[in-house]
């Protein structure tokens, strides 16, 4: 790899298996991607332990420590920006980011969502899909805008599970797809292969 490392921050609220996939397949690898910082809204998130285990700077920003969401997100944005990152990756970050946070990192925040958007945005996407009786599940990686899981789509992959009845029937295979798709999207962005179509900014162009 030549040139400066492509530094990213990861925000995660939970177990951090997607963070782990990024650490295992991308961090300090030949593509030049470096996870520079990991933050959470939950001080006890397992994701923070995974980051600390490899010596990364971590911080938590629980809402209860701040007057409101805007103040929490301002502190979070300052901390993230202080690590000089070019991309913010939401890997199971379950708090909605405020517009002021989004404006600090324009077109530089991506999210992984466990459904084929625009189907089943928001919380418990897999539960929503099961309740709907779908036979095809999936994963979406998209840019983050002010809506709930509404930003331009970078990568999607479908997962046919026609007999799935419970979350357990879905989650193992779905996570495996996430663990490939999210690093793949970050790799493409780091390589400069992802642009918004100026004629239609909803459409994400991927260089072959």
Q: Which residues are catalytic?
A: 113
What is the C-alpha end-to-end distance of the chain, expressed in Å? 19
| Choice between 16 and 152, CB closer to ligand GAR | 16
CB of 15 to ligand GAR, least distance (A): 4
Q: How far apart are CA 178 and CA 184, in angstroms?
A: 10
Q: How far apart are CA 59 and CA 42, in angstroms?
A: 9
CB-based closest residue to ligand GAR: 92
CB of 208 to ligand GAR, least distance (A): 27
- The DSSP bridge partners found for residue 200 are 197
| Choice between 5 and 14, CB closer to ligand GAR | 14
CB–CB of 22/103 below 8 Å?
no
CB of 123 to ligand GAR, least distance (A): 7
| Choice between 73 and 178, CB closer to ligand GAR | 178
**What are the start-end ranges of the E strands in 55-135?**
58-60, 87-90, 109-113
Q: Which residues bind ligand GAR (CB under 6 A)?
A: 12, 14-18, 47, 91-92, 112-114, 125, 178
């Amino acid at each position: 790899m030549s040139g400066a490392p492509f530094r990213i921050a990861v925000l995660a609220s939970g177990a951090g298996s997607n963070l782990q996939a990024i650490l295992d397949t991308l961090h300090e690898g030949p593509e030049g991607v470096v996870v520079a910082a990991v933050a959470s809204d939950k001080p006890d998130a397992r994701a923070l332990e995974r980051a600390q285990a490899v010596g990364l700077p971590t911080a938590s920003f629980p809402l209860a420590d701040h007057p409101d969401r805007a103040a929490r997100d301002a502190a979070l944005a300052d901390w993230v920006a202080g690590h000089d990152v070019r991309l913010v990756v939401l890997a199971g970050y379950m708090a909605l980011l405020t517009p002021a946070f989004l404006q600090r990192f324009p077109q530089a925040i991506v999210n992984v969502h466990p459904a084929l958007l625009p189907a089943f945005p928001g919380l418990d996407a897999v539960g929503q899909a099961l309740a709907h009786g779908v036979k095809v599940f999936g994963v979406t990686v998209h840019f983050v805008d002010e809506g709930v899981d509404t930003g331009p789509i970078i990568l999607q992959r479908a997962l046919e599970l026609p007999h799935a009845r419970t979350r357990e029937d879905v989650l193992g295979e779905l996570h495996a797809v996430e663990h490939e798709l999210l690093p793949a999207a970050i790799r493409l962005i780091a390589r400069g292969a992802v642009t918004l179509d100026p004629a239609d900014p909803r459409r994400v162009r991927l260089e072959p």
